[in-house]
Amino acid sequence: MYATNVVLFAFTLSSVLAIYPYFDTQDFIYNVPKVYRISITLDKLLDYYEQKPSKDPEWYISLGLARGQLEYTINELDKSVPEKLRENLKNITRKMDRIRNNTDYTKLVYRSKDYEYDACTMQLLISAMESQTTQSEGVCELTPECQTQIMQGSGLAFQQMSRVRAAILARLFDCMEGVDLSAHIYKLCIQIYKETKSLEAWDHPAGTRTLFMQQILYCSWQGYGEFIKPRWMNKIISWQEPKGCYADDRQPFMKLTGFIGPTSSPSPKDREEEYRVKKAAKSEGGNCNSLTSAMALGSLVIYVRALLETDQAFQYDVFL
């Protein structure tokens, strides 16, 4: 029950979480065709999940964050933005709303192993949810162990991204007094940027596309323009499956980086959970993965905002 409510809370919170970055606005004329291209990709992606709903909570969290980003972008659009483009973006938000409104959150499948590692994120959301629903002014609760994890936890791949997300929430809810979380997030994103560039240099080994897009999403979301590169945008668009979704087998890479423990004979309970999780992540009709699709959705919406709020230098690939 708690997990279901957390997803709903994260969705309603999304518009608040989605207004951090701001890119200087001077001239977006050269970027309008790029936004049209992204809008076609987003339409196709959302069409797929409107027809074949996901049971993965991560998809709906990302959907909420993307909805908040897009709404903010539309509200801030310059009057000279073509009306057709404005209407295209509004249609995308309407499609997001239909997906949200037609979802039965009680039927989502929660990854207990992922949430064990993300226990601090869950703790933050539950604490915030309780204070919101009771309309109290209670202090955000964060255990010393979680504070240590956020500040000194693993610097590997998905574990590090979990730390970034928890740090963002801790800053939002003022959970760690006396700690400069903005500076901490900045340091983490510097490290992540090096890893993101390495993934590109290695030509995105199997299982790393989800991580690549997750890194772009969370760090650019916090306003770090280094992650806003035209060639990265083009990669994400090109990875879309013909049916509209995104696919990525993360298991080999997650085992390599220690996110999943050493190979051993799983218990019947573990095998049952693995089946449920795979069934939730993979929608009907092939290898579509909702977590990968969620990261693509979020990062592409960030690019829409950046393209419409940055100067014309973005037409060149100047961010090396």
Domain ranges in the chain?
A: 2-315
pLDDT on residue 98: 97
- Cα separation, 171 vs 155, in Å, equals 19
Instruction: Provide the sign of the torsion angle of the four alpha carbons 277, 280, 283, 284, taken in this order.
Output: positive
pLDDT on residue 117: 53
Q: What is the value of pTM for the model shown?
A: 0.81
Residue of 33, 4, 41 whose CA lies nearest to 239: 41
- 3-state SS, one letter per residue, for 140-160: CCCCHHHHHHHHHCCCCHHHH
Read off the tokens for 232. Answer: 């990265």
Express each pLDDT in 275-302 by its tens digit: 444 544 454 445 789 999 999 999 999 9
The residue ranking higher by pLDDT, 6 or 186, is 186
Using CB atoms within 10 Å of the CB of residue 180, give its burial: 0 to 12 exposed, 13 to 18 middle, 19+ buried: exposed
Maximum separation of any 2 CA atoms in the chain, in Å: 61
pLDDT on residue 116: 52
Read off the tokens for 66. Answer: 């993307």
Express each pLDDT in 72-129 by its tens digit: 999 988 787 889 999 999 999 999 999 999 988 888 887 655 555 567 887 887 777 7
Query: Rounded to 5 degrees, what angle do the CA atoms 47, 293, 73 make?
Result: 75
- Cα separation, 176 vs 183, in Å, equals 13
The residue ranking higher by pLDDT, 183 or 263, is 183
For residue 136, which amino acid is it?
Answer: S
- Cα separation, 45 vs 241, in Å, equals 9
pLDDT at 320 over 70: no
- Cα separation, 41 vs 237, in Å, equals 7
Q: Please, where are the H alpha helices in the chain?
A: 2-17, 32-51, 57-75, 83-101, 112-117, 119-133, 144-152, 157-172, 181-201, 209-221, 230-238, 251-256, 268-281, 290-309
Distances in Å between the Cα of 305 and the Cα atoms of 39, 60, 77, 243 are 12, 20, 10, 25
Distances in Å between the Cα of 4 and the Cα atoms of 7, 9, 123, 283 are 5, 9, 14, 20
Read off the tokens for 244. Answer: 């509209």
pLDDT at 232 over 90: yes
The length of the chain is 320
- Cα separation, 298 vs 62, in Å, equals 6
The half-sphere exposure of 305 on its side-chain side, counting CA atoms within 13 A, is 29
pLDDT on residue 184: 94
